[in-house]
Amino acid sequence: MEPFFPELHPNPGWHDSCQSNDIETLHINSHENMGRHCILELYQCDRAKLNDEAFIRTTITSSAKISGAKLINLVTHSFHPQGVTGLALLAESHISIHTWPEIGYAAIDVFTCGDHTMPEKACKLLFKDFVAEHFSFKNIAREIPSGIQNLHREP
């Protein structure tokens, strides 16, 4: 059996992935926008942690806190024979984690709105907590469309 099945994900990231010591270089985008959506893929993770629902609940909670977000609700589900999905509803948006322990892979989204959160910090913590050897990271600015930038918004 092969250790990794690229057909499970359209871009497994091996060619674009970074080594574990590159995690500190994640770029923090400070442009004016509605929020930032970080997409983190982790490879060659600790397989036991990927399959541990309690661990995933704890690491999602910790990553929300370190990012400066407010956790509203947390839902997790353990699949059989393996894998866990976790979804955190944040006041600022969400964090989601989907794991495939059989291949050592985790797909993670951290989306936060506002200028007081730092989703990149959450990604760094998740990378370290899952003991990943490789990662792929994308930081997407969720920009305000030019047609509505000047509209008055009530808080």
- Residue 1: the pLDDT is 31
93 catalytic per annotation? yes
Q: Choosing from 38, 113, 123, 134, which is the catalytic residue?
A: 113
**CATH code at 124?**
3.60.90.10
Q: What percent of the chain has pLDDT over 90?
A: 64
The boundaries of the domain holding residue 77 are 35-142
d(CA 119, CA 133): 20
Whether 18 maps to a domain, the answer reads no
Whether 133 maps to a domain, the answer reads yes
Whether 90 maps to a domain, the answer reads yes
Whether 117 maps to a domain, the answer reads yes
Whether 16 maps to a domain, the answer reads no
- Residue 22: the pLDDT is 66
Which residue type is seen at 73? N
Whether 99 maps to a domain, the answer reads yes
116 catalytic per annotation? no
Whether 50 maps to a domain, the answer reads yes
> What are 13-56's pLDDT values in tens digits?
444 555 556 666 555 444 457 789 999 999 999 999 999 999 99
Q: Model-level pTM?
A: 0.76
9 catalytic per annotation? no
Q: Report the domain count for the chain.
A: 1
Q: Choosing from 9, 20, 78, 98, which is the catalytic residue?
A: 98
Higher per-residue pLDDT: 30 or 124: 124
User: Can you tell me whether residue 138 is helix, strand or coil?
Assistant: strand
Q: What is the mean pLDDT of residues 125-134?
A: 97
Contact 35, 92 (CB under 8 A): yes
Q: Choosing from 17, 63, 67, 93, which is the catalytic residue?
A: 93
> What are 67-77's pLDDT values in tens digits?
999 999 999 99
Whether 69 maps to a domain, the answer reads yes
d(CA 128, CA 130): 6
